[in-house]
Amino acid sequence: MTVQRTLSIIKPDATNRNLTGRINTVFEENGLRIVAQKRIRLTIEQAKAFYKEHDGKPFFDGLVQFMASAPVVVQVLEGEDAIAQNRRLMGATDPSQAEEGTIRKMFALSKGENSVHGSDSETSAAREISFFFNALEITG
Ligand code: CMP
C-alpha cells in the first residue's frame, strides 16, 4: 500500500442538493484527506476535454451537458491506496448496483446523475489532477 492522490468531482446533481459537506464527511471519515478543492462551473468545452475518452459513446453529449449544467467541486484526495479507496466509497456507476453505505447508493439519482467522479487508475489520476490543479494548489 502506498500513499496516492486521486481526482474527485462532486457533480451538479450533488451540488444542487447541497450535499458537498456530507460527501466530504464520507471521505474524511474513511482515510482520505482533501488536499485541494475548488468549486467551479465547467464550460461545455472543458467538460468535453475532461471526458474525451468517452467521446462517441451514446451518453457523451448528455454527460457533457450535465457536467456543465451547474457548479461542480473538484478536489484532490490523498491517502493510502486513495484511488481504489475512493472508488470503494463511491460505489458502482449505476446507483441501483451500488453497495449499501456508498456515496452513490446514498445520494445518486441515476447512472448519469451519479453525484461523484473518481479517477480509475494512476494514469488517469495524474492526467485528471493536472487538468484542474497546479502543484502550488495542492498541499497535504
Ligand atoms: P464517471 O465516473 O464520471 O465517468 C464517466 C461518466 O459517464 C460516469 O461517471 C457516468 O456518470 C456516465 N455514464 C457512464 N455510463 C453511462 C450511461 N450508460 N448512461 C449515462 N451516463 C453514463
Chain Cα centroid distance, residue 132: 12
- CB of residue 63 inside a 6 A radius of ligand 1: yes
Looking at residues 19-23, what average pLDDT do you find? 98
pLDDT-derived band at 1, boundaries 50, 70, 90: confident
Distances (CA, A) of 42 to 19, 33, 64, 108: 18, 24, 9, 20
Q: What is the pLDDT of residues 27-82, one digit of tens each?
A: 999 999 999 999 999 999 999 999 999 999 999 999 999 999 999 999 999 999 99
Strands (E), the chain: 3-10, 33-40, 72-80, 116-118
Cα–Cα distance, 98 to 72 (Å, whole number): 22
- CB of residue 65 inside a 6 A radius of ligand 1: no
Q: What is the pLDDT of residues 83-121, one digit of tens each?
A: 999 999 999 999 999 999 999 999 999 999 999 999 999
- CB of residue 117 inside a 6 A radius of ligand 1: yes
Per-residue model confidence (pLDDT) at position 123: 98
Phi/psi at 58 (nearest 5 deg)?
Answer: -60, -30
Sign for the CA dihedral angle at 65, 66, 70, 76 comes to: negative
- Is the per-residue pLDDT at 7 higher than 80? yes
Per-residue model confidence (pLDDT) at position 2: 93
Q: Is the pTM of this model over 0.75?
A: yes
One-letter amino acid at 50 equals: F
Looking at residues 115-131, what average pLDDT do you find? 98
- For residue 1, report the distance from its CA to the centre of ligand 1, in Å: 28
Ligand 1 atom at shortest distance from the alpha carbon of 113: 11
